[in-house]
Amino acid sequence: MITFNKPYLTGKETEYIKDAVSNLKISGDGVYTKKCHKYFEDTFGFKKVLLTTSCTDALEMAAILLDIKEGDEVIAPSYTFVSTVNAFMLRGAKIVFIDSANDNPNMDIELIEKAITPKTKVILPVHYAGIACDMDRIMEIASKHNLFVVEDAAQAIDSYYKGKPLGSIGHLAAFSFHETKNIISGEGGMLVINDDRFAKRAEIIREKGTNRSAFFRGEVDKYGWVDIGSSFLPSDIIAAFLYAQVENLEVIQKRRKEIWNIYNTKLSKLTAKGVRIPFLPDFATNNAHMYYLVCNSIDERTKLISKLKEKEIHAVFHYLSLHNSPFYKDKHSGNILPNTDHYSDCLLRLPMYFELKNSEVEYISEIINDFYNA
């Protein structure tokens, strides 16, 4: 079976984990956590980063930092993972779902302003497949209505919008290092703070509501409980694993882009059959997080998945529309989101990982082309 995903190990992960253990500092904010923080700040120009145990935790920190309260409204796409919005619902927010764009699964920018009310507090763009939303437009709307922007950049490491790294544009951003992402630590995430107003408090929230980080820097003579918070920081063992990955980001990205480009070349003629391949706006780069097809119908997708499985290829669909989910459908405004539902029914993700061979990519592409030619 050609699996959908296979975690890639650079070879240094266990070496760095062993080193972290030998340092006798394996809880949070050890040597490797600091190395990772420095790497992301230096490489991408993020003002301040904090590793977290997951992207979900980073989003929950963002919701706390923005003082989300009962009745606040957050505008988000329905075509996303539940963590995107769950983090804000935990603080009492109402989620206002808007449709995806027609040409890609990112939120339809034209619908944002229509969804704003006096209760709106946050716009929550998701950079699906690592491909940028139109951030200039989003930031203009946010500025006009005095709103915050939190980028869900879970899939978007090393991807850019008009030359700016994704995650560096909104007030806050969240990344994922789950084993399905480009660089990984099994589980793991990162909060990016681009607005200085939130930098000091973010450290406190991450450290259970204490000013422990300031204490260890010698800025206070003792630390105590000064705010709400939780234990959002990861073990230095997780950071050690991640650091082995970030050292190899360029190598990993080069290979993933090679795979993506083979898919794109081999499958481009499917558009004549009505099948859609990933759309890349002029303002966005491709970080090769994912290669997907949008089939013509759910029945067509089901048959294609079955055909690929028959040939020992594991391809998978993606998100189910959150506005139609068992938990939220009674809370949704009732607005029909046709593009979201279409992606839920028709989008298919193909195998994508570092060690996928060119011959395997070509084989997968051949099976898909044969399916449509038949």
pLDDT the model gives residue 188:
97
Structure tokens at 312: 């020992």
Mean pLDDT of the chain: 97
pLDDT digits (tens, 9 = 90+) for 58-110: 999 999 999 999 999 999 999 999 999 999 999 999 999 999 999 999 999 99
- Which position has the higher pLDDT, 222 or 98? 98
- Helix crossing, 55-65 with 82-89: angle to 10°? 30
Report the predicted TM-score, pTM, of the whole model to 2 decimal places: 0.97
Q: How far apart are CA 199 and CA 119, in angstroms?
A: 25
Q: How far apart are CA 171 and CA 150, in angstroms?
A: 6
Buried b (16+ CB within 10 A) or exposed e, 204-233: bbbbebbbbbbeeeeeeeebeeeeebeebb
Q: What is the mean pLDDT of residues 28-50?
A: 97
Domain 249-373 falls under CATH 3.40.50.720: no
Q: How far apart are CA 174 and CA 63, in angstroms?
A: 11
Report domain extents, the chain: 13-246, 249-373
Nearest 5°: the CA angle 74, 116, 146 is: 80
Least confident piece of the model among 211-220, 243-252, 311-320, 359-368: 211-220
Confidence category of residue 133, pLDDT binned at 50, 70, 90 = very high
pLDDT at 228 over 90: yes
pLDDT digits (tens, 9 = 90+) for 285-341: 999 999 999 999 999 999 999 999 999 999 999 999 999 999 998 989 889 999 999
Separation of CA 145 from chain center: 25
pLDDT digits (tens, 9 = 90+) for 137-177: 999 999 999 999 999 999 999 999 999 999 999 999 999 99
Domain 13-246 falls under CATH 3.40.50.2000: no
pLDDT the model gives residue 24:
87
pLDDT digits (tens, 9 = 90+) for 257-294: 999 999 999 999 999 999 999 999 999 999 999 999 99
pLDDT at 215 over 90: no
